[in-house]
């Protein structure tokens, strides 16, 4: 029962570096999303996808790119890391025909520090 | 008004106590309502969905009041293991986007 798998769990970057946060789900979910969680700010949606080949911006998309080439994978790319992107990142997935819509299942998170 | 609003707490209660959290939402078109639980430095996990008629799962009872646009969570006979942050979640109208409250912190003390 892997569910939603995120890698890495921890990452330290220098300002200006780029990296990709990986997210994979094995539940055949059509909907996937990326959130960041900061103290006092709650979960904020970065990007989401309603299916392979379809992505859209969330509430805080600047500085991040996503792609969805397969149903299973939804990587998040930081183009040029900034200290303001220090956060905990969660990937989530939801939605199959046999399950209630909108219940989201989360990965364990990636703790990112940008120095 | 924030889209989803919760009292941040913290709520400090003794073991065995009953505690209730409320959450208000602003979008009258919202159709899906949830309570998630988040332990410190962990991912959110679904605690329960909230149905129009109210629903119960063991010691937990969730209620929805559409007229006043709030949902509630009641925890009876609190356990130490109930200590966590409880997140109120509402969908953004007629779509799958979810709006998350900031959470209510609960500490159950021995």
d(CA B18, nearest CA chain A) in Å:
26
Cβ contacts of A42 on chain B, cutoff 8 Å: 87, 100-103
Average pLDDT, integer, range A2-23: 96
Q: Is the pLDDT of residue B19 over 60?
A: yes
Average pLDDT, integer, range A28-54: 92
Give the per-residue pLDDT at B91.
85
Q: What is the mean pLDDT of chain B?
A: 92
Contact residues, chain B to chain A, C-beta under 8 Å: 32, 34, 42-46, 49, 87, 91, 96-98, 100-103
Question: What tokens does B10 get?
Answer: 């913290």
Beta bridge partners of A11: A112
Name the pLDDT band for B97 (thresholds 50, 70, 90).
Answer: confident
Q: Is the pLDDT of residue B95 over 70?
A: no
- Among B32, B42, B100, whose Cβ lies nearest the Cβ of A42? B100
Give the per-residue pLDDT at B108.
97
Give the per-residue pLDDT at B36.
97
d(CA A23, nearest CA chain B) in Å:
14
- Among B34, B49, B97, whose Cβ lies nearest the Cβ of A45? B97
The residue of chain B with its CA nearest to that of A47 is B97
Give the per-residue pLDDT at B23.
96
Average pLDDT, integer, range B90-109: 86
CA angle B38, A22, B37 (to 5 degrees): 10
Determine whether the interchain pair A90/B43 forms a contact, defined as Cβ–Cβ distance below 8 Å: yes
Give the per-residue pLDDT at B59.
97
Give the per-residue pLDDT at B41.
87
pLDDT in tens, B28-76: 888 889 999 999 989 999 999 998 888 999 999 999 999 999 999 999 9
Dihedral sign of CA atoms A1, B100, A12, A54 in order? positive
Average pLDDT, integer, range A81-89: 97
Name the pLDDT band for A1 (thresholds 50, 70, 90).
Answer: low
Q: Is the pLDDT of residue B96 over 90?
A: no
The two most distant CA atoms of chain B are separated, in Å, by 43
- C-alpha pair distances (Å), A12 with each of A15, A83, A86, A89: 10, 11, 9, 13
Q: Is the pLDDT of residue A86 over 90?
A: yes
Q: Is the pLDDT of residue A89 over 60?
A: yes
* Spatial separation of the C-alpha atoms in residues B105 and A39, rounded to whole Å: 13
**B89, B91, B98: best to mutate for the A interface, most A CBs within 10 A:** B98
Please provide the DSSP assignment of A44-102 as one string. Answer: EEEEEEEETTEEEE-SS-TTEEE--SSSSB--EEESS--GGG-EEEEEEEE--TTS-TT
């Amino acid at each position: 029962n892997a569910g939603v798998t995120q890698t890495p769990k921890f990452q330290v970057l220098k300002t200006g570096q780029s990296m990709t946060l990986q997210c994979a789900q094995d539940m055949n979910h059509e909907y996937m999303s990326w959130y960041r969680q900061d103290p006092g700010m709650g979960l904020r949606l970065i990007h989401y996808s309603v299916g392979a080949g379809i992505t859209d911006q969330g509430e805080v998309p600047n500085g991040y790119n996503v792609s969805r080439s397969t149903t299973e994978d939804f990587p998040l790319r930081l183009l040029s890391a900034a200290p303001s992107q220090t956060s905990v990142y969660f990937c989530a997935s939801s939605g199959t025909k046999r399950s209630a819509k909108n219940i989201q299942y989360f990965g364990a998170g990636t703790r990112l520090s940008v120095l | 008004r924030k889209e989803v609003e919760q009292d941040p707490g913290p709520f400090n209660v003794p073991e065995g106590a009953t505690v209730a959290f409320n959450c208000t939402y602003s979008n009258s078109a919202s159709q899906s309502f949830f309570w998630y639980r988040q332990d410190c430095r962990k991912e959110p996990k679904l605690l329960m969905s909230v149905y129009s008629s109210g629903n119960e799962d063991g010691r937990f009872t969730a209620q929805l009041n559409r007229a006043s646009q709030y949902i509630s969570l009641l925890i009876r006979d609190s356990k130490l293991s109930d200590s966590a942050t409880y997140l109120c979640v509402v969908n953004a109208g007629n779509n799958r986007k979810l709006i998350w409250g900031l959470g209510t912190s609960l500490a159950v003390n021995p």
